[in-house]
Amino acid sequence: MNLSESVPDSWFSADYAEARAKFRAAAERAGAALSAYRNPDTRQADGGDLTTDVARLGPAPGAAAKVLIASSGTHGVEGFCGSGCQVGMLETGAHRLLPAGCALVLVHAINPYGFAWLRRVTEDNIDLNRNNLDHGAGHPANPKYAGIHDLLTPRDWHGPGREAADTAIAAYIKEHGLFAFQEAVSGGQYDYPDGLFYGGRALSWSARTWREIIEAHCRGAGRAAHLDFHTGLGDYGACEIISVEGAGAERARLWYGDEVKSPEKNDSLSAVVTGSMENGFDGIAQETEVTTVALEYGTRPLYDVLEALRADNWVHLHGDPASEEGKAIKRQIRDAFYGDEPEWKATIWATADRVVRQAAAGLAG
């Protein structure tokens, strides 16, 4: 059987708890070493633990010359996609594709709160993919975000305040274009803790845990390929391979081809961002040559995705997530980041499988 052509519906889950159980079961079947990092600051709605789980196959930490490390759930609710692909990697024996001396490290739900609560942010409203920077060295200003913060976060979700904000947003998009609006919203901001795409003023639990995992699993390796799974930008089921411009981007193009896009070159669906996950390696795995790419899978139209984030921000700040309206907003944000249909899952797995093979070849070279 060609596993890349099988329909991998069963690898994907309906919620965080199911995803965690599936991941751990698949890891055990594959003979992986498992570890778990519990977030002490928050819990599941039913009181259950929230953990980031790590499965490792191949040479032990410290003994691996190379590492393929794949992370899911950086943006919480986007974890449905990455989790399904990680289970697929375990079920299809992806570690057997890797060159000698190379370990496979799968980091499941690095932002478990966001996954479980269907949010893109961490428990402290932080965008983890804007949080990975040296917070002692100051924070970039984002005047474009400052200009629209009030429009994005109306106090009342119904009535004249919201209507005026929507009208102003429509005017902004008409004048500047949808991508300019996306850039202003999503580039990352460090001045509005209750706002969207807030990068924080200190490392979140997830960012600290990410560093702990890199330290434990990558230190001593000469080369690392890092895949970070995301959803929410692009056409339904399509995948854009994104690399931050630099030496890593050149390697990424060699490994994954010319389809690699870079926000700095203005050819990506993503805005230029600061503090992304690849910066987690800074100062830890100095001796490791790291090649990070984000796999960005399309779900819904961009405006709908941004509206879902706006609604989610409102319901956690001013509304009640457990109310009927809150539940509707939770469905809205889940739909915005998860193409919960067999065809979508088969398509995204086909790309993930191909990229894993390309990473394996790149690491072998």
Binding site for Zn ion (CB under 5 A): 75, 78, 230
Answer whether 187's CB lies under 8 Å from 142's CB: yes
Q: Strand, helix or coil at 25?
A: helix
φ, ψ (nearest 5 deg) of residue 134 = -80, 100
Answer whether 45's CB lies under 8 Å from 117's CB: yes
Contacts 24+ apart (CB under 8 A), 168-174: 172/148, 173/303
Residue 239 Cβ, how far from Zn ion at the closest point, in Å? 13
Residue 74 Cβ, how far from Zn ion at the closest point, in Å? 6
Residue 232 Cβ, how far from Zn ion at the closest point, in Å? 6
Q: Residue with structure tokens 């300019």? A: 180
Per-residue buried b or exposed e for 273-289, using 16+ beta carbons within 10 Å of the residue's own CB: bbbbbbbbbeeebeebe
Residue 128 Cβ, how far from Zn ion at the closest point, in Å? 9
C-beta closer to Zn ion: residue 75 or 119: 75
Residue 195 Cβ, how far from Zn ion at the closest point, in Å? 17
Residue 363 corresponds to which tokens in the numbers above? 């690491």
C-beta closer to Zn ion: residue 231 or 291: 231
Residue 56 Cβ, how far from Zn ion at the closest point, in Å? 24
Angle 131-132-135 from CA coordinates, rounded to 5°:
80
Residue 350 corresponds to which tokens in the numbers above? 């086909």
Catalogue the E-assigned strands of the chain: 33-38, 51-57, 66-71, 102-108, 223-236, 239-242, 289-298
Residue 277 Cβ, how far from Zn ion at the closest point, in Å? 10
C-beta closer to Zn ion: residue 102 or 241: 241
C-beta closer to Zn ion: residue 20 or 230: 230
Angle 47-51-54 from CA coordinates, rounded to 5°:
160
CA 89 to chain centre: 17
- Provide CB contacts within 8 A for 304, sequence distance 6+: 336
C-beta closer to Zn ion: residue 92 or 186: 186
C-beta closer to Zn ion: residue 128 or 329: 128
Residue 209 corresponds to which tokens in the numbers above? 């845990």
Answer whether 278's CB lies under 8 Å from 248's CB: yes
Residue 357 corresponds to which tokens in the numbers above? 């093979």
Residue 159 Cβ, how far from Zn ion at the closest point, in Å? 31
Answer whether 250's CB lies under 8 Å from 144's CB: no
C-beta closer to Zn ion: residue 58 or 76: 76
Distance (Å, whole) CA 11 – CA 259: 27
Residue 241 Cβ, how far from Zn ion at the closest point, in Å? 14
C-beta closer to Zn ion: residue 58 or 296: 296
C-beta closer to Zn ion: residue 121 or 148: 121
Residue in the shown chain whose Cβ atom is closest to Zn ion:
230
**Which is it for strands 102-108 and 66-71: parallel, antiparallel or unpaired?**
parallel
